Amino acid sequence: MVEVEKLKSVLRKTKSVGHSRYENSAEHSWHVSLMALLLKDHADDEIDINRVIKMLLIHDLGEIEAGDTIIYASETTEIKQQEGQGIRKLFALLPAKMEDEFNSLWLEFEAGETNDAKFAKAIDRVPPLLHNIHGEGHSWKLHNISKEKVFSLNKARIQGASHTLWEEVETELNKAVEAGALS
């Protein structure tokens, strides 16, 4: 319980809506968990919301060791290995049964193949998009992220779990392009 407190000091690459400071990973985990609960009825396939929330609460714990990396650069083998090492170190502190359960959920999220993991990964993409859409594209501009990259990565993740959610996000992204926040 003390070790996971460290997630509060891992700063992400986006600023929360209405704030000038960067969000931390613990805030992100809370936000995506609540979003999943609110948006569960928009999943294209049947999901177990309890499993989805568990995945979302633990999915970024590897960042305690590895730090946060912007999604458009974070899918490297090296970063995933660092996160995996952090997860194994952290979960080794748990009783064996819980360690196995959490490892299994983390690996399932990372693979993104089950309905639960697809939905969790889709929901995980929404807050950073909202932060940029409502923050004049601050992170996209700072990291020189193109609209093509934003649309392709997020469409694949979000539409794969919820066509309804993707339609809403796509509308907002197009507004961001029109407003000059994304180019």
| Contacts for 99 with CB less than 8 Å, ≥ 6 apart | 91, 92
- pTM for this predicted structure: 0.95
pLDDT given for residue 155 in this prediction: 97
What average pLDDT does this structure show over 76-103?
Answer: 94
Contact 96, 132 (CB under 8 A): no
**Per-residue pLDDT band at 76 (split at 50, 70, 90):** confident
- Residue 45 DSSP symbol: S
Residue 74 has pLDDT above 70, yes or no: no
**Per-residue pLDDT band at 79 (split at 50, 70, 90):** confident
Look over the chain and give the mean of its residue pLDDT values, rounded to a whole number.
95
Cα(36)–Cα(124) distance, integer angstroms: 9
What share of the chain has pLDDT > 90, as a percent? 90
CA distances to 20, 76, 116 from 120, rounded to whole Å, are: 27, 20, 6
Tokens at residue 43, please? 């999943």
Residue 102 has pLDDT above 80, yes or no: yes
Burial of 69 (0-12, 13-18, 19+ CB in 10 A): middle
Contact 63, 47 (CB under 8 A): no
**Per-residue pLDDT band at 70 (split at 50, 70, 90):** confident
**Per-residue pLDDT band at 69 (split at 50, 70, 90):** confident
Condensed to tens digits (0 to 9), the pLDDT of residues 24-39 reads 999 999 999 999 999 9
